[in-house]
Structure 1
Amino acid sequence: MLKAVEDGPAVVACNTCRLSTDMREDGAGRRGGALLADALACAKAADPRYAGIAVQQMPCLFACADHCTVHLRAPGKVGYVLGRFSPDMDAARAILDYAVAYADSAHGRVPFKQWPQGVKGHFITRTPPPGFVAE
């Protein structure tokens, strides 16, 4: 049931997420999560700034009240679930831009002034790393 992946900074995209609040799929039958995962992979491949961020995907992050969700994680850092994105390149770049700042941070906390506009208002939860709680 579990698949081993890189243990560094990663954006894990839910590939089964809804397209939007009121639509499961696009006209071609593709889920929003699969479209966002593809956009993240394309954005990562197109920009060397994102080389240190893994783009991974899995079915269902259990954030079904929201759509197009991702989990941002790295060892020893607070993790975040973000959602309600449009599954496009603008959202993918904003997520990856934030992921770069997140990877460079000491504990996963990125100052608000460094947040890309495209991630503001998209945070759903934060999770402590194993063995820690946030202060």
Structure 2
Amino acid sequence: MKRKIAIAADHAGFEYKEIIKKHFEDQYEIQDFGTYSTDSVDYPDFVHPAATSVENGDNELGILICGSGNGVQITANKHQKIRCALCWMPEIAALARQHNDANMISIPARFISKEVAIEIAKTFLLTDFEGGRHQTRVDKIAFC
């Protein structure tokens, strides 16, 4: 059974979203939350449903893309059970999974190449959480 992955982007990340989807469609079941063109949109309209799907367990992990990666990351992290990391290189994606148990990442489409974006997504999807001393820290993140 394929792992389920959520993906969403704004207009600046649309092209990268489509490239990432196509690259991983044979390996993962990918649920696309939009946007579906380069027409200007408000990223929360797509990020909230994607983050909710990860939060509820409908999708295991999520990938978000916008121009800087900041807006989509900030929006996703408003969800109590989401740990979304801004990743601009594969090593950051690996550490986000290994040490922070990130369940979503954001990718800054305007600042990295398409090839790097694919490597970031690949690293994120293939890296496991290390647990141990990191679990104690992750357990302290939620603030209610």
User: Quick check: TM above 0.5?
Assistant: no
**Which has the larger helix fraction?**
2
Higher RCO, Cα 8 Å, sep 6+: 1
